[in-house]
Structure 1
């Protein structure tokens, strides 16, 4: 279980840097492993979303995560949501600090029709 998505998490860290409240790669890995049960629901939600041509900077990953939580009906860790978006092939920017949370811009669009 500790090696769950280890390579993908490392690639995500290299691409985006800090995510959510994770200060180190090991923090990020621990958080994702702890809440790995939410990866499938997130991926299913994301699979039903359009991929925009460009990154959307006006709405970040943390905001979109809340939309997913509403539809999924459960709390979703931001780190798990960002990894799920990465696994689903969405584009992600280098992280930036918003308040006390590191967020990324994405190309996650509206629900597919």
Structure 2
């Protein structure tokens, strides 16, 4: 196993940056965002008719889906940046047999 995960000699690691802060605050941001987006639906149940409730519920659900997809996109981007700042590993050698003339 150790021969598979050999670190590249002379690689440079980078300090964690904004991506770590984003990943740490993402759960709290997600919960607060979902609650804030669902607030109009809760208020509509107290103040409006059932037809208006349904329309607002549809809008709230679609906004929730959009919000959660954006949060997922942000999490994937931060994770990719975090992984790319890690150590470099030696890749397998691949002999390239390519020339202008075919081998005889």
TM-score (norm 1): 0.21
TM-score (norm 2): 0.22
**Which of the pair has the greater relative contact order for Cα pairs under 8 Å at 6+ separation?**
2
